[in-house]
Amino acid sequence: MGSLTGKVAVVTGASRGIGRGIALALAEQGATVYVTGRTVTAGSHPLPGSVGETAIEVDRRGGKGIAVQVDHGQDDQVAALFEQTAREQGRLDILVNNAISIPAELTQPGPFWDKPISNWEMIDVGLRSNFVAAWHAAKIMLPQKSGLIVALSGYVGVTYTYNVIFGTCKSATDRMARDMAIELKPYGVASLSLWQGFTYTERARQNLKTVAGMASQLNSTAGSSVEFPGRVIAALAADPGVLKRTGGSFISAELAQEYGITDIDGRTIPSLRAERGSPIWSPV
């Protein structure tokens, strides 16, 4: 039995990338994982991955994978997801808010006024979507008097990376997780944000080949696998003292060292606090 056997998780944006890696890491600890995303048909997206493929791999890793097609920009679809989770499982222990809309222009050079206003979609699916998912999750977790809500963020919360909207989204993500923690703590539910450094997602590997200067800007030599943050989240979810961390923003590499976690290849992922900045928010 894994440390999360009997626990139920929702991981948003898990067709590929970090979301997929988190789902697999939770599966290795025995969790039931609801895998959400827009891509249902394999090969229908320029990048590989679909919710169904992730759910199958979750099963192979020792968990139970449940694929649900969700556009996190559509509130009715998000409501249906949590209604399904409550109906089928009767509980929810972990919500990982990972989904974010990434426009093609994100990694392209140029100031904000030369990029389309539609880039605001990162706020709609990336910040507002976090709130909507947490709103539904809280209604399931509060009667249990337990639960963990994790928002994926990063050094971009305090250090300029890519563009204006991306930084705004992630700094607001940190603050929202902190203020949610203040209201959730009396009910035994933890909320925190996790700062993940450079991660070798499918998109990142592609960008390293095509975007000039990206490797040096983000210190890709210190990058991790997509499963690394999931290992940290699994440790947080299994920690009976996790409520002591609620409201804080934490660097995943630093938490990994506290919990004795390495990446899938055995590497210790370094913290980039000195190079890229420190979290603002401490536990409440």
Nearest to 19, CA basis, from 139, 118, 101: 101
- The model carries a pTM of 0.94
Residues ≥6 apart with Cβ < 8 Å to 113: none
Considering only residues 221 and 59, tell me which one the structure prediction assigns the higher pLDDT.
59
Q: Of 221, 72, 100, 95, which Cα lies nearest the Cα of 156?
A: 100
* 218 has a pLDDT exceeding 60: no
27 and 58 in contact (C-beta within 8 Å)?
yes
- Model confidence at 110: pLDDT above 80: yes
Does residue 283 form part of some domain? no
**Closest residue by Cα to residue 181 from 227, 99, 262, 242:** 242
Alpha helix (H) residue ranges in 29-74: 51-60
Q: State yes or no: pLDDT of 116 exceeds 70.
A: yes
List the CATH number of the domain containing 19: 3.40.50.720
Domain membership flag for residue 89: yes
The answer as to whether 282 is a domain residue is no
What is the average pLDDT score of the chain? 93
Interval 20-49: pLDDT, tens: 999 999 999 999 999 999 988 766 567 767
Tokens of 226: 């997509």
Residue 60 belongs to some domain of the structure: yes
Mean pLDDT confidence for 86-103: 97
In a domain, 138, yes or no: yes
Return the DSSP state at 45: S
- Structural domain includes residue 146: yes
Is 252 in contact with 232 (CB distance < 8 Å)? yes
Distance from the Cα of residue 156 to its chain's centroid: 14
Number of separate domains in the chain: 1
Express each pLDDT in 244-260 by its tens digit: 999 999 999 999 999 99
Structural domain that includes position 56: 8-276
E runs forming strands in 92-202: 94-97, 147-153, 189-195
The token pair at 199 is 């991660």
Helices (H) and strands (E) in the chain, counts: 11, 7
Q: At what angle do helices 17-28 and 51-60 cross, to 10 degrees?
A: 20
Q: What value does the mean pLDDT take over residues 42-70?
A: 89
For the cut 70, the answer to whether the pLDDT of residue 206 exceeds it is no
